[in-house]
Amino acid sequence: MAYKLKEVAKKPERLTGGHRMCAGCGAPVVVRQTLRALKPEDHAVIGAATGCLEVSTFIYPYTAWRDSFIHNAFENSGATVAGAEAAYKAMKRRGKIKDDTKFIAFGGDGGTYDIGLQSLSGAMERGHDMVYVCYDNGAYMNTGIQRSSATPKYADTTTSPAGRKEHGKQQWRKDLTEIMVNHHIPYVAQTAAIGNMKDLYEKAEKAIYTQGPAFLNVLAPCPRGWQYDTPDLMEINKLAIETCFWPLYEVIDGKYIINYKPKNKLPVEEFLKVQGRFKHLFRPGNEQMIEEIQREVDKRWAELITLAEELN
């Protein structure tokens, strides 16, 4: 379905206002736009791993979710939603359920890249008809901004602090999108919380209405962990895309499609300098670290272009 802003805006909200997410957070934007891709008549069963999203939207006896909601432990959002999908199929075969239901799991990068990777991988490998959405804010934000395997190299976190001897996290971030591609599932996509709402909506719609397992990796900046002013959420996402730090692409049945190629690709320092977690990189004598990050971004972008050309 073509993205028509006026029609999409008229769809009912499935995540209500009044939740406790921070101002300037990307996660609620990810959820609202993903759920807007559902047809109004479709019911959804949603699971969310313990994290910022869960603790801020579902505090008993209050809930911000209009669809059925399951609070999962940190490590098992994929397994829980997969189990609900399997139970639904069994009940539908027996004639106990007639309505169509969609199954969506949400998790932050800590509960997806790290602690929940095993249950996510299992759900995708078994072929459950569900969507897993990772809102990637690059650290364990809910428990104190500790580094995760999604944290970019040289980012300052509470467990990889920037100081005199170490300059933040010392490892490159894991490429979870490519790990999911190598599960050979029907649909995998990478997009961003805001900066290109059309891209997020259309990919969510494809993921939800693709038969079988699907995975969305969505960049979702965190104002506390990334240290930016709350109104800058859109600008930071745009810079991530324009520098190719976070390319927009999808893989449909193994076919790579790059959804956006910047006409004038910006240097990665434009993305880094607006975040307090990277301020130490701009001190005199640390220029080589920015150059190192630029080389890695360029390498990964070139590899993605090669995959899109060779596998199409």
Phi-psi region of 227 (alpha: psi -120 to 50; beta: other; left: phi over 0): left
Domain coverage including residue 70:
5-310
Provide the pLDDT for residue 312. 63
Rounded average pLDDT over 239-268: 97
The two three-digit tokens of residue 79, written as one number: 């397994």
Cα distance between residue 136 and residue 225, in whole Å: 12
In this prediction the pTM is: 0.96
Per-residue pLDDT band at 2 (split at 50, 70, 90): low
Whether 109 and 115 have beta carbons less than 8 Å apart is answered as no
For the cut 90, the answer to whether the pLDDT of residue 141 exceeds it is: yes
Cα distance between residue 135 and residue 21, in whole Å: 13
When the pLDDT of each residue in the chain is averaged and rounded to a whole number, the result is 94
Q: Are strands 68-72 and 43-49 parallel, antiparallel or unpaired?
A: parallel
Q: How many CB atoms lie within 10 A of CB 170?
A: 10
Q: How many CB atoms lie within 10 A of CB 152?
A: 23
- Per-residue model confidence as pLDDT tens digits over 94-121: 999 988 899 999 999 999 999 999 999 9
State the CATH number of the domain containing residue 139: 3.40.50.970
User: CA-based angle 70:26:231, to the nearest 5?
Assistant: 145
| Domain count along the chain | 1
> SS3 string of the chain?
CCCCHHHHHCCCCCECCCCCCCCCCCHHHHHHHHHHCCCCCCEEEEEEECCHHHHHHEECCEECECCEEEEECCCCHHHHHHHHHHHHHHHHHCCCCCCCEEEEEEEEHHHHHHCCHHHHHHHHHHCCCCEEEEEECCCECCCCCECCCCCCCCCCCCCCCECCCCECCCCCCCCHHHHHHCCCCCEEEEEECCCCHHHHHHHHHHHHCCCCCEEEEEECCCHHHHCCCHHHHHHHHHHHHHCCCCCCEEEECCEEEECCCCCCCCCCHHHHCCCHHHHHHHCCCCHHHHHHHHHHHHHHHHHHHHHHHHCC
| AA identity, residue 96 | K
Name every residue whose Cβ is closer than 8 Å to that of residue 90 and which is 6 or more positions away in sequence: none
Considering only the C-alpha atoms of the chain, give the largest distance between any 2 of them, rounded to a whole number of Å: 69
Per-residue pLDDT band at 17 (split at 50, 70, 90): confident
- Per-residue model confidence as pLDDT tens digits over 19-65: 999 999 999 999 999 999 999 999 999 999 999 999 999 988 889 99
- For residues 199-230, b (16+ Cβ closer than 10 Å) or e, as one string? bbbbbbbbbbbbeebbbbbbbbbbbbbbebee
- Per-residue model confidence as pLDDT tens digits over 145-190: 999 999 999 999 999 999 988 999 999 999 999 999 999 999 999 9
